[in-house]
Amino acid sequence: MSDYLKGKRGRLFVDVGAYHGHYSLLLSGNFDRVIAIEPVSANADFLKGVIAIRKASNITIIRMAVKAGYSPGTVLRVV
């Protein structure tokens, strides 16, 4: 999967279930903005530290879970 994604470029990449941010970090140079969604605080804290070390300022961490399904009127707001 990593080799496939390395060739992708664009404006926004959303890493749902980011864990320690492997894909977020891998693709931060290819996308204008990366959103890493990770509900587990320990994982999000680890990723936050790695982002600081790697100076990947285009990665935003959102600490919440995502569920499958569609609910009319429900919108994910990205800030």
pLDDT of residue 3: 81
User: Global pTM?
Assistant: 0.81
pLDDT of residue 74: 67
Give the separation between CA 76 and CA 69, rounded to whole angstroms: 13
Kindly list the structural domains of the chain, giving each domain's residue range(s) and its CATH number in brackets, ordered by start: 9-62 (3.40.50.150)
Where the chain has pLDDT below 70, the residues are: 1, 70, 73-79
pLDDT of residue 5: 81
For the CA atoms of 48, 50, 56, 58, what is the dihedral angle to 10 degrees?
-30
CB of 34 closer than 8 Å to CB of 51: no
